[in-house]
């Protein structure tokens, strides 16, 4: 990608303190994010994939500043946003919006659809009066919701329709970047496809950048430009879609890909089976964090932590000692 980066994340860390109880002394830390770096350009989709607990959602929330980063830098369009104070932070929020996973808890049950979509517009003073109504109506058309839904409450809608309301809310302030935190994971397959298509249509039209957090590789392959694979708070591989799905480098990526179901029982595949569970992010393994489950583990992996290095064409990077010099 040669376009200038809209979002740049540099060695971002988020360590949650484990409180031991009454006096609040730290018993240790959960290393939810441990040095994550990537860039995202205008109009691009970057998917973040990984098992549950690997820090995907924390990454999204940290960029949104719903969670304060422990260390590292976040740049949005040339402005550093990880240390903004409340006033400037609010202005930043206009440009970065979010669509959450659960379409049932992400909408206030006591607000009408109109008020939900209008809230960010009013917050940023973007419109009022009849202009506000026009704008809400236009957003509802945009996400293909009927206009007579405006005066209804969220519980009167299906999951897919609710997710459309959530998307309309995210579009409302005219954001450049939308973080989709498992935005389609809670939906039925057919609805999932509709929402994914809606998202990519909107991206094409509005030039939105999407940070698409997901564990569903089939969906990711359908809509993304680039993919970042996370494992225990770190990005282990980052590549464009074609490269990652055809020539994955990191053993973890290969294992993930081999776990994607293929709808043809006659195809024999070589499954890379992983042993054991994800280690605890409280005490991550030394060296390469994946060494406890890696089928190709070497002595070097246990002591030396691999860094992201170029391994293929088109900017494929991977953090693995395998066939390294």
Partner 1 sequence: MSSWLFAQYPEAPALADVLPPRKARGKVAMFIHRYPTIVIGGVLLALVLGMAIFAPFLWTVDPTALAPAKRTRPPSELYWFGTDMLGRDIYSRVIFGTRVSLMVGFAVAALSSVVGLFIGLCAGFIRWLDTVVMRVMDGLMSIPSILLAIAFMALLGASVQNVVIAISIAEIPRVARLVRGVVLSLREQAYVEAAIASGTRVPLIIWRHILPNTLAPMIVQATFICASAMLAEATLSFIGAGTPPTIPSWGNIMAEGRALWQVKPFIVFFPAVFLSLTVLAVNLLGDGLRDALDPRLAKRI
Q: How far is the CB of 98 from partner 1 (least distance, A)?
A: 5
- Choice between 143 and 308, CB closer to partner 1: 143
Q: How far is the CB of 142 from partner 1 (least distance, A)?
A: 6
Tokens matching residue 59? 């990454």
- Choice between 122 and 322, CB closer to partner 1: 122
Q: Does 260 bind partner 1 (CB under 8 A)?
A: no
Give the footprint of partner 1 on residues 290-319 (CB under 8 A): none
CA-to-CA distance for 262 and 214, rounded, in angstroms? 18
- Choice between 97 and 292, CB closer to partner 1: 97
Give the footprint of partner 1 on residues 95-124 (CB under 8 A): 96-98, 100-102, 105-111, 119-120, 123-124
- Choice between 89 and 314, CB closer to partner 1: 89
CA-to-CA distance for 143 and 256, rounded, in angstroms? 32
Phi and psi dihedrals of 276, rounded to 5?
75, -175
For residue 61, what is the DSSP state?
A: H
CA-to-CA distance for 55 and 281, rounded, in angstroms? 9
Give the footprint of partner 1 on residues 211-250 (CB under 8 A): none
Give the bridge partners for 97, in sequence order: 178
Q: Does 17 bind partner 1 (CB under 8 A)?
A: no
- Choice between 97 and 214, CB closer to partner 1: 97
- Choice between 29 and 124, CB closer to partner 1: 124
Q: Does 135 bind partner 1 (CB under 8 A)?
A: yes
Q: How far is the CB of 266 from partner 1 (least distance, A)?
A: 40
Q: Which stretch binds partner 1 (CB under 8 A): 25-33, 87-95, 221-229, 279-287?
A: 87-95
Contact 88, 173 (CB under 8 A): no
Q: Which stretch binds partner 1 (CB under 8 A): 131-139, 187-195, 213-221, 223-231?
A: 131-139
- Choice between 94 and 309, CB closer to partner 1: 94
DSSP-assigned letters across all residues of 217-262: HHHHHHH-SEEEEEETTEEEEEEEHHHHHHS--SHHHHHHHHTS--
Judged by DSSP in three states, 204 sits in helix
Neighbouring residues of 111: CB distance < 8 A, sequence distance ≥ 6: 119, 153, 154
CA-to-CA distance for 165 and 171, rounded, in angstroms? 10
Q: Does 85 bind partner 1 (CB under 8 A)?
A: no
- Choice between 70 and 111, CB closer to partner 1: 111
Give the bridge partners for 52, in sequence order: none
Give the footprint of partner 1 on residues 137-176 (CB under 8 A): 138-142, 144-149, 152-153, 155-156, 166, 169, 172-174
Residue bearing tokens 């994955």: 248
Query: How distant, in Å, are the alpha carbons of 123, 210, 221, 233, 316 from that of 47?
Result: 29, 8, 9, 15, 14
Give the bridge partners for 143, in sequence order: none
Q: How far is the CB of 103 from partner 1 (least distance, A)?
A: 9
CA-to-CA distance for 125 and 15, rounded, in angstroms? 35
- Choice between 95 and 250, CB closer to partner 1: 95
Enumerate binding residues for partner 1 (CB under 8 A).
61, 64, 66, 90, 93-94, 96-98, 100-102, 105-111, 119-120, 123-124, 134-135, 138-142, 144-149, 152-153, 155-156, 166, 169, 172-174, 205-206
């Amino acid at each position: 990608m040669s376009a200038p980066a809209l979002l740049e994340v540099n060695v971002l860390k988020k360590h949650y303190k484990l409180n031991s109880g009454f006096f609040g002394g730290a018993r240790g830390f959960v290393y939810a994010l441990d040095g994550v770096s990537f860039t995202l350009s205008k109009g691009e989709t970057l998917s973040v994939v990984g098992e549950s607990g690997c820090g995907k959602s924390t990454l999204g929330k940290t960029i949104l500043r719903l969670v304060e980063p422990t260390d590292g830098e976040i740049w949005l369009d040339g402005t550093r946003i990880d240390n903004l104070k409340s006033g400037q932070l609010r202005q930043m929020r206009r440009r970065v919006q979010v669509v959450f996973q659960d379409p049932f808890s992400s909408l206030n049950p006591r607000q009408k659809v109109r008020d939900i979509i209008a809230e960010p517009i009013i917050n940023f003073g973007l419109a009022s009066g009849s202009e506000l109504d026009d704008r809400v109506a236009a957003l509802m058309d945009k996400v293909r919701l009927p206009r007579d839904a405006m005066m209804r409450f969220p519980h009167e809608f299906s999951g897919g329709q609710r997710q459309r309301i959530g998307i309309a809310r995210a579009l409302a302030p005219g954001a450049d970047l939308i973080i989709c935190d498992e935005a389609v994971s809670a939906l039925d397959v057919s609805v999932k496809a509709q929402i994914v298509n809606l998202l990519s249509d909107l991206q094409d039209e509005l030039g939105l950048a999407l940070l698409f957090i997901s564990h569903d590789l089939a969906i990711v392959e359908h809509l993304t430009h680039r993919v970042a694979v996370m494992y225990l708070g770190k990005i282990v591989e980052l590549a464009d879609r074609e490269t990652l799905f055809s020539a994955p480098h990191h053993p973890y990526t290969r294992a993930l890909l081999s776990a994607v179901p293929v709808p043809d029982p006659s195809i024999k595949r070589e499954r890379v089976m992983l042993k054991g569970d994800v280690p605890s992010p409280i005490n991550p393994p030394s060296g390469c964090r994946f060494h406890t489950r890696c089928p190709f583990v070497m002595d070097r992996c246990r002591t030396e932590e691999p860094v992201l290095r170029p391994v293929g064409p088109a900017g494929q990077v991977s953090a693995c000692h395998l066939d390294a010099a």
